[in-house]
């Protein structure tokens, strides 16, 4: 079959449009101006002023008065502007226009619509088969753009503009009048509840894993004698909230270690070891980092919470999510860390808390604090730190002289204890503990000839760093992404300092004195700050690395925290970020339901998990059961929300929270998340 070229097609389309236009004018009884031409051939002088019609049918359009043309009895004209030629036009060999001569059995592709619409939507080209030695006018089988394309609502692009059923599509892009939607929701790294994300650098929109840019960027300092935790904004240093924690909310709780999960929520372990009569039960309290995770317990549609250094009474702050007793009476919960979690169920990680007297570690459910597992240790645990391999390292101050020990959070396998420091000369009572970017544990030495820190190599050897300050001790310790180890030290009980060195070999040691404070804990953030929690002065110190400036910010009385109290250590180890968005569908009758969820995700590299929670109100979403909708790249868009909830045995309600978790690869590659599109059905009664 031979294809006609554009010249012949355009000539034919012009004649066809003229014929159709004349028919429309005749059918409407309108005149183009002047006298209408009676039935017969249309002369050149009348071009554009009428046409041969019989009722509503075009009879003949003959611009060159040779008797040939569209609709003419003599047949089509290969060039209706040249009266000398109707079947032997000079370009017939290339245009194959109607009226050109042909041989039996020949057939020619054709399309009389605008060329840009062919093969778009419903439009298709046809063919002209040679008829009695002439190429006919009719293009058999062609489908041209419809004049009123979308009234059928047939999920077809009838006008061939690339969009199907656009006039009746509605917010869902379908013809279902009951379907509603907000349209595509594009994520931002700064959205409420977003954590561990950055703008997508390739210019196609959305987010990737990256430096944290979230509302939940806070420091959490436990105020020991006050039974409270101070929450400080990492950028401004302001105390934005203070929460009563523990079972009593006073000095009997004696809160200490804090840790931050992947959502920016914080946990605090209360030791309850200060001798209060009948009050020696330790506990763990969970606090919301972002208001999206707070729970409206009294149902007044507002969140009652502290907004500064004044706490609400114990049990009334709706951003304090739960408190549970941990271990037996006198168990003294001390070490606290958040593990790697999982992308599907708890991507923010599971909290582990260590009982000093029981020599046991408890894994808690992030939803309600229930004990999920226990692991027995061979040391008395003082601090905990997670690595990127699924292990948690323990600093054991007892038995003497002190040991490190690790266990796997999945298999629960416990390695034998390793005597702290080996032959390095930094060997007594490991205190704070951290893990560097090569998954090596480091601990600060509290008792010794000088304030020192030591790291354990995979071959069992140790790297020790001695500050040379006698009668000083090491307390907190932290590892930066750039390979720097930081340690807080102080004299008994005089001035304090920050110490830093290179993790590879301990070189480059630098001591920065902090006058007048006793720094017990040290932590970092993504804003290039180093923080210490100062026990005797009721404040924290912030070092800005770019300027070497030291600043102090007030917290509660006698703060006592030297764990991962900004969450930086865990964020550095876990290549995972999360985004959430809440939806509210119609609430008209029992027939309302959630529909499909569509997404635009690039994975691999990495993996993206989409989870949903549904509740009768927005305030109840945080505590609602989690239902997995898709794990990408295994799943393909879209997913049926109602079907997923039904399969999980979980009911749906008018409110829905979508949680999207991005997980990268060990070499730093990241998936891309560009948008989600959630639909719902509003049942129309009547």
Query: What value does the mean pLDDT take over residues 523-536?
Result: 95
Q: What is the pLDDT of residue 13?
A: 45
Structure confidence at residue 667 as a pLDDT band (50, 70, 90): confident
Q: What is the pLDDT of residues 85-132, one digit of tens each?
A: 999 999 999 999 999 999 999 999 999 999 999 999 889 999 999 999
Q: What is the pLDDT of residue 153?
A: 67
Q: Is the pLDDT of residue 681 over 60?
A: yes
Structure confidence at residue 54 as a pLDDT band (50, 70, 90): very low
Q: What is the pLDDT of residues 344-394, one digit of tens each?
A: 788 889 999 999 999 999 999 999 999 999 999 999 999 999 999 999 999
- How far is residue 431's CA from residue 415's CA, in Å, rounded to a whole number? 19
Q: What is the pLDDT of residue 272?
A: 96
Query: What value does the mean pLDDT take over residues 600-611?
Result: 93
Q: What is the pLDDT of residues 175-202, one digit of tens each?
A: 666 778 788 999 998 888 888 888 998 8
Query: What value does the mean pLDDT take over residues 48-57?
Result: 38
Q: What is the pLDDT of residue 458?
A: 94
Q: For the whole model, what pTM was predicted?
A: 0.69
Q: What is the pLDDT of residue 366?
A: 96
Q: What is the pLDDT of residue 169?
A: 55
Structure confidence at residue 525 as a pLDDT band (50, 70, 90): very high
Q: What is the pLDDT of residue 152?
A: 59
DSSP category for residue 116: G
Instruction: Give CA separation, 316 vs 53, 306, 556, in Å.
Output: 86, 10, 19
Two structure tokens written together for 300: 């007044």
Q: What is the pLDDT of residues 10-21, one digit of tens each?
A: 444 444 444 434
CA-wise closest residue to 487 among 477, 473, 502:
477
Strand partners, 185: 676
Structure confidence at residue 44 as a pLDDT band (50, 70, 90): very low
Query: What value does the mean pLDDT take over residues 231-236?
Result: 96
Q: Which residue has the higher pLDDT, 350 or 421?
A: 350
Q: What is the pLDDT of residue 514?
A: 94
Which residues, other chains included, contact 667 with Cβ-Cβ below 8 Å and sequence gap of 6+?
none
The answer to whether 443 and 420 are in contact (CB under 8 A) is yes
CA-wise closest residue to 478 among 523, 535, 438:
523
Average model confidence (pLDDT) across the chain:
87
Q: What is the pLDDT of residues 426-442, one digit of tens each?
A: 888 899 999 999 999 99
Q: Which residue has the higher pLDDT, 686 or 23?
A: 686
Q: What is the pLDDT of residues 494-512, one digit of tens each?
A: 789 999 999 999 999 999 9
DSSP string, 285-327: EEE-SSGGG---TT-SSS-----SSPPPPTTT-TTEEEEEE-S
Q: Is the pLDDT of residue 413 over 90?
A: yes
Q: What is the pLDDT of residue 5?
A: 46
Two structure tokens written together for 403: 């040991």
SS3 content of the chain, % helix, strand, coil (to 5): 10, 40, 55
Q: What is the pLDDT of residue 212?
A: 46
Strand partners, 435: 441
Angle at CA 508, nearest 5°, toward 505 and 509?
100
Domains of the chain with bracketed CATH? 2-129 (no CATH), 179-210+575-681 (2.60.120), 218-376 (2.40.128.630), 378-559 (2.120.10.30)
Strand partners, 531: 523, 542
Angle at CA 478, nearest 5°, toward 474 and 481?
150
The count of residues in the chain is 686
**How many beta carbons lie within 10 A of that of residue 351, not counting itself?**
28
């Amino acid at each position: 079959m031979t294809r006609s070229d554009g010249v012949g097609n355009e000539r034919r389309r012009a004649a066809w449009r003229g014929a159709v236009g004349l028919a429309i004018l005749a059918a409407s009884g309108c005149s183009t101006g002047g006298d209408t031409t009676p039935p017969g051939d249309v002369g050149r002088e009348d071009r554009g002023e009428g046409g041969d019609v019989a009722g509503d049918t075009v009879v003949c359009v003959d611009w060159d008065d040779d008797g040939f043309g569209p609709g003419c009895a003599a047949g089509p004209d290969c060039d209706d502007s040249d009266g000398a030629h109707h079947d032997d036009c000079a370009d017939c060999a290339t245009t194959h226009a109607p009226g050109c001569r042909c041989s039996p059995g020949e057939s020619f592709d054709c399309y009389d619509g605008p060329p840009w619409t062919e093969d778009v939507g419903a439009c298709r080209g046809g063919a002209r088969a040679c008829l009695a030695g002439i190429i006919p006018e009719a293009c058999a089988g062609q489908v041209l753009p419809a004049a009123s394309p979308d009234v059928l609502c047939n999920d077809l692009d009838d006008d061939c503009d690339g969009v199907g059923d656009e006039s009746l599509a509605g917010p869902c892009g379908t013809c279902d009048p009951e379907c509603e939607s907000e349209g595509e929701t594009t994520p931002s790294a700064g959205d409420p509840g977003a954590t561990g994300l950055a703008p997508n650098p390739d210019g196609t929109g959305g987010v990737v894993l990256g430096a944290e840019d979230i509302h939940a960027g806070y420091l959490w300092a436990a105020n020991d004698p006050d039974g409270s935790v101070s929450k400080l904004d990492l950028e401004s240093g302001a105390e934005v909230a203070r929460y009563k924690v523990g079972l009593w909310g006073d000095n009997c709780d004696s809160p200490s270690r804090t840790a931050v999960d992947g959502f920016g929520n914080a946990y605090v372990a209360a030791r309850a070891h200060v001798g209060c009569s009948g009050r020696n039960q330790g506990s763990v309290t969970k606090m919301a980092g972002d208001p999206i995770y707070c729970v409206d317990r009294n149902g007044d549609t507002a969140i009652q919470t502290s907004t500064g250094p004044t706490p609400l009474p114990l049990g009334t702050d709706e951003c304090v999510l739960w408190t549970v007793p941990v271990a037996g009476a006198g168990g003294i919960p001390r070490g606290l860390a958040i593990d790697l979690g999982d992308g599907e169920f708890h991507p923010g990680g599971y909290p582990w808390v260590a009982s000093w007297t029981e020599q046991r570690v408890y894994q808690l459910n992030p939803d309600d604090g229930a004990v999920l597992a226990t692991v027995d240790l061979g040391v008395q645990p003082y601090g905990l730190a997670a690595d990127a391999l699924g292990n948690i390292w323990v600093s054991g101050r007892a038995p003497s002289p002190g040991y490190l020990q690790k266990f796997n959070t999945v298999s629960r396998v416990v390695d034998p204890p390793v005597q702290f420091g080996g032959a390095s000369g930094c060997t007594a009572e490991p205190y704070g503990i951290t893990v560097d970017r090569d998954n090596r544990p480091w601990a600060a030495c509290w008792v010794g000839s000088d304030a020192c820190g030591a790291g354990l190599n995979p071959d069992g050897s140790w790297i020790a760093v001695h500050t040379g300050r006698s009668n000083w001790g090491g307390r907190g310790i932290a590892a930066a992404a750039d390979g720097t180890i930081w340690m807080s030290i102080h004299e008994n009980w005089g001035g304090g300092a920050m110490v830093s060195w290179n993790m590879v070999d301990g070189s480059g040691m630098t001591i920065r004195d902090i006058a007048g404070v006793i720094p017990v804990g040290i932590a970092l953030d993504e804003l290039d700050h180093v923080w210490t929690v100062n026990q005797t002065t009721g404040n924290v110190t912030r070092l800005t690395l770019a300027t070497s400036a030291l600043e102090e910010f007030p917290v509660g009385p006698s703060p006592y925290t030297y764990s991962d109290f900004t969450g930086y250590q865990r964020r550095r180890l876990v290549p995972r970020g999360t985004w959430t968005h809440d939806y509210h569908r119609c609430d008209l009758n029992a027939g309302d339901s959630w529909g499909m969820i569509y997404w635009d995700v690039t994975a691999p590299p990495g993996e993206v998990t989409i989870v949903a929670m549904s509740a009768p109100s927005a305030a109840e979403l945080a505590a609602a059961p989690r239902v997995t909708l898709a794990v990408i790249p295994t799943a393909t868009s879209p997913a049926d929300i109602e079907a997923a909830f039904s399969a999980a045995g979980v009911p749906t309600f008018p409110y829905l929270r979508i949680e999207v978790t991005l997980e990268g690869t060990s070499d730093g590659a990241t998936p891309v998340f560009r948008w989600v599109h959630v639909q719902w059905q509003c049942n129309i009664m009547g």
